[in-house]
């Protein structure tokens, strides 16, 4: 029986435009490990968690950039 995270590595790499090696460097796993998991679909809880935390971090960084932009705009407007 396949689990909903079977293709999490493939999906993440495709969405972010990363290779398995690049994703592995970002989450602390080797390319070989991610390649094996992507082909077997048997993802461990630590790797699943690492990927989800990486994605959450990326999302939070994007939000922070938006807030920084808003802060700059407000600062500029208040100077006028």
Stated pTM of the model: 0.77
Q: Residue 79 has what pLDDT?
A: 86
Q: Does 2 score more than 50 pLDDT?
A: no
Tokens at 20, concatenated: 């398995």
Would you place residue 47 in the very low, low, confident or very high pLDDT band (cuts 50, 70, 90)?
very high
Tokens at 5, concatenated: 């995270």
Q: Does 5 score more than 80 pLDDT?
A: no
Could you identify the residue written with the tokens 């689990």?
3
Task: Kindly tell me the burial class for residue 26, based on how many C-beta atoms sit within 10 Å of its own C-beta (0-12, 13-18, 19 or more).
Answer: middle
Mean of all residue pLDDT scores within the chain: 91
pLDDT digits (tens, 9 = 90+) for 15-31: 999 999 999 999 999 99
The number of beta carbons lying within 10 Å of the beta carbon of residue 34 is 24
Tokens at 44, concatenated: 């461990």
Q: Which residue, 14, 13, 57, 15, is CA-closest to 31?
A: 13
Tokens at 71, concatenated: 């802060």
């Amino acid at each position: 029986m396949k689990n909903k995270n079977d293709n999490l590595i493939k999906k993440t790499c495709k969405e972010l435009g990363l290779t398995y090696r690049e994703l592995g460097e970002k989450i602390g796993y080797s390319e070989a490990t991610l390649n094996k998991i992507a082909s077997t679909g048997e993802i461990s809880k630590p790797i699943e968690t690492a990927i989800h935390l990486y994605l959450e971090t990326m999302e939070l960084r994007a939000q922070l950039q938006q807030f920084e932009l808003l802060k700059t705009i407000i600062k500029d407007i208040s100077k006028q």
